């Protein structure tokens, strides 16, 4: 389940790389036609679905793995915690939440892009900010996740994985 999926590129790329998996994109109802066209263009309309909803007001559908890419940095701390808690509630025991974006290194000295992105979020949003891996792992622990880890991806991006 990809929360805030937009056109669905993450679930499409995962499905193309792993033919045995199915996935669902979760986003606002008006995004559905864009998602469905992109999925069909990639020949995956039988394996990927769309679930309409707002991550502010609706519960997340149940899933074994939930992803949030470049979602949390848009919001204030209270909203970040609420979204992580919703993911926790939607996962089974042993399920995973994967959060990825320009995660700032814990001592805030290495990822200049992440720091600049945080400044950008502070300017462009009401309360949004980027954060360090330790911050995200702490919010996951507060929500009930029993394990978490950070893994560097490519360039300035990293992911934090929390296990319920």
Please name which of 104, 101, 99 lies closest in space to residue 134, comparing C-alpha atoms.
104
- How far apart are the C-alpha atoms of 113 and 151, rounded to whole Å? 17
If we measure between CA atoms, which residue out of 9, 4, 99 comes closest to residue 53? Answer: 4
155 CB neighbour count, 10 Å cutoff: 9
Q: What is the pLDDT of residue 4?
A: 97
- Class of residue 30 by CB neighbours under 10 A (exposed 0-12, middle 13-18, buried 19+): exposed
Would you kindly state where each structural domain of the chain is located, as residue ranges?
Answer: 1-58, 81-164
What's the confidence (pLDDT) of residue 54? Answer: 98
Q: Please check whether the two domains, 1-58 and 81-164, share a CATH topology.
A: yes
- Checking phi first, is residue 15 left (phi over 0); if not, alpha (psi -120 to 50) or beta? alpha
CATH of region 1-58 = 3.40.50.150
For the whole model, what pTM was predicted? 0.94
Please confirm, yes or no, whether 73 is among the known catalytic residues. yes
CA dihedral 67, 70, 75, 80 (to 10 degrees): 30
Q: Does the domain spanning 81-164 belong to CATH 3.40.50.150?
A: yes
What pLDDT was estimated at residue 111? 73
Stretches in the chain below the pLDDT threshold 70:
none
Encode pLDDT of 34-61 as tens digits. 999 999 999 999 999 999 999 999 999 9
Q: Which of 18, 20, 41, 73 is catalytic?
A: 73
């Amino acid at each position: 389940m990809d929360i805030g999926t937009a056109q669905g590129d993450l679930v499409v790329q995962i499905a193309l790389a792993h033919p045995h998996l199915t996935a669902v994109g979760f986003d606002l109802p008006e995004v559905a036609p864009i998602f469905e066209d992109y999925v069909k263009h990639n020949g995956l309309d039988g394996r990927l679905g769309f679930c309409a909803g707002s991550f502010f007001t609706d519960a997340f559908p149940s899933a074994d793995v939930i992803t949030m890419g470049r979602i949390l940095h848009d919001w204030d701390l209270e909203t970040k915690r609420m979204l992580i808690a919703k993911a926790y509630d939607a996962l089974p025991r042993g399920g995973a939440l994967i959060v990825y974006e320009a995660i700032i290194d814990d001592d805030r000295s290495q990822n200049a892009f992440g720091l600049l992105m945080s400044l950008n979020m502070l300017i462009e949003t009401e309360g949004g900010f980027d954060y360090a891996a330790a911050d995200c792992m702490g919010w996951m622990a507060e929500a009930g996740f029993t394990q978490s880890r950070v893994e560097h991806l490519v360039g300035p991006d990293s992911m934090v994985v929390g296990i319920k």
